[in-house]
Amino acid sequence: MILMYFFETYLDLRQHAALKLPKLPKTLEGVISQEKFEKSRGYSLDKSHFHFVHEFVTILMDSAILLFRILPWFWKKSGNFLVLVGLDAENEILHTLSFLAGVMLWSQLTDLPFSLYSTFVIEARHGFNKQTIWLFFRDMIKGMILAIVLGPPIVSAIIIIVQKGGPYLAIYLWAFMFVLSLVMMTLYPVLIAPLFNKFTPLPEGELREKIEKLASSLKFPLKKLFVVDGSTRSSHSNAYMYGFFKNKRIVLYDTLIQQCKNDEEIVAVIAHELGHWKLNHTMYSFIAVQVLTLLQFGGYTLVRNSTDLFRSFGFDTQPVLIGLIIFQHTVIPIQHLVSFGLNLVSRSFEFQADAFAKKLGYASALRAGLVKLQEENLSAMNTDPWYSAYHYSHPPLVERLAAIDEPDKKEK
């Protein structure tokens, strides 16, 4: 864990040096204004400084939790709490829920100063934050309530599956998580997302007609087209799609509509998103996640009965949840390698989706839209190649513009 911290800090230092460069990349000269570049540079450096502090505090806390055996101590205290309130501490499900409740409160308290500073200092300083303190805490309370409602049945099911899974435990766990992911992907946009944002149908007009015409030409089963009030919290912009089979929906941030005055730029961004659907990127990503989940549970089944492993972390018993936590700690390097591989695939998908939009005739509009999003979101203009290769799921703007322009050069 500490070695990964030093490695990623080295990459962060490389990126910080790139952010301090006083000039735009040559590809962006004349494309991005100097004023926007200076604002982007200031915003990126502020976030970088904050990131160094946050990561340093996080590694200190995580190391202290392991070195001073806080987890086994907290596990025993959560059992004592159950006895205090008259519940059975020998019941692993109740014990686990008591433990998780304490962990959730601890996480909220320790992360709160960083969240407040990020939102109300950094984001506000650069003109992005639009939410009030009340809205911030209201969202946090809603999130905790959702965790309290959804967490117990999910955790209980996992514990029961592990206790009774036998030799096919990994398959049973994977099947449960597979069904759960489908249920959550179905319920989240319909029941959970509206608790935090307001979704309204995109008004009739030229923009709606163009998006519907594009979707129809690609045989995309568009059922609903929404605008979400992202501006109530931030001026960052985005667009996304979701849904299964013939019940697809597209969501535009109201900030995207405000920032892109030209409808063609928005339609080009949607063409890019539809490219992911047409090229089956979403399906491939979903399959990859399912395979990795199955492999992860397979690895967990190999170590879950290791008494020595639990003892090395300070535990005399072998609770299911603790086994999962310990396993996560032991495979940290592998998780980072997998994440790196997924980022490589994701960046390849982004280039393919850009090329798809280009073939539809949206090259210039997509180029303008990407530049507009980069400017309005004050995204980093200068990026270190090692840092971006390791962390970025989307290619830097310079690379995307070069890829969009390259076919034009070949055609000439």
Catalytic residue flag (residue 354): yes
In whole angstroms, what is the distance from residue 106 CA to residue 102 CA? 6
Q: Catalytic: which of 92, 350, 354, 376?
A: 354
Strands 222-228 and 248-253, bridge-based pairing: parallel
DSSP E strand boundaries for 192-315? 199-201, 222-228, 239-242, 248-253
Catalytic residue among 92, 254, 265, 273: 273
- With b meaning 16 or more CB within 10 Å and e meaning fewer, what string describes 232-269? ebbbbbebebbbeeeebbbbbbbbbbebbeebbbbbbb
Dump the DSSP string for 368-393. Answer: HHHHHHHHHTT--SS--HHHHHHH-S
Q: Tell me the sheet residues that pair with 45.
A: none
The letter for the amino acid at 259 is Q
Collapsing DSSP states into helix, strand and coil, what is residue 261? coil
DSSP string, 31-85: TB-HHHHHHHHHHHHHHHHHHHHHHHHHHHHHHHHHHTTHHHHHHHHHHHHHHHT
List own/partner pairs for 333-338 with CB under 8 A and 24 or more apart: 333/3, 333/4, 336/4, 338/292
Phi, psi dihedral angles at 140 (to 5 degrees): -65, -45
Q: What span, in angstroms and rounded, lies between the C-alpha atoms of 230 and 256?
A: 9
Angle of helix 263-278 relative to helix 363-376, nearest 10 degrees, comes to 100
In whole angstroms, what is the distance from residue 11 CA to residue 132 CA?
A: 34
Nearest to 273 by CA among 369, 344, 178: 369
Question: Which candidate, 40, 126, 42, 118, places its Cα nearest to that of 379?
Answer: 40
Pair of tokens at residue 37: 């570049």
Residues 6+ apart with CB under 8 A from 242: 185, 189, 248, 249, 251
17-26 as b/e: b if 16+ CB within 10 A: ebbeeeebbe
Q: Which residues are catalytic?
A: 273, 354
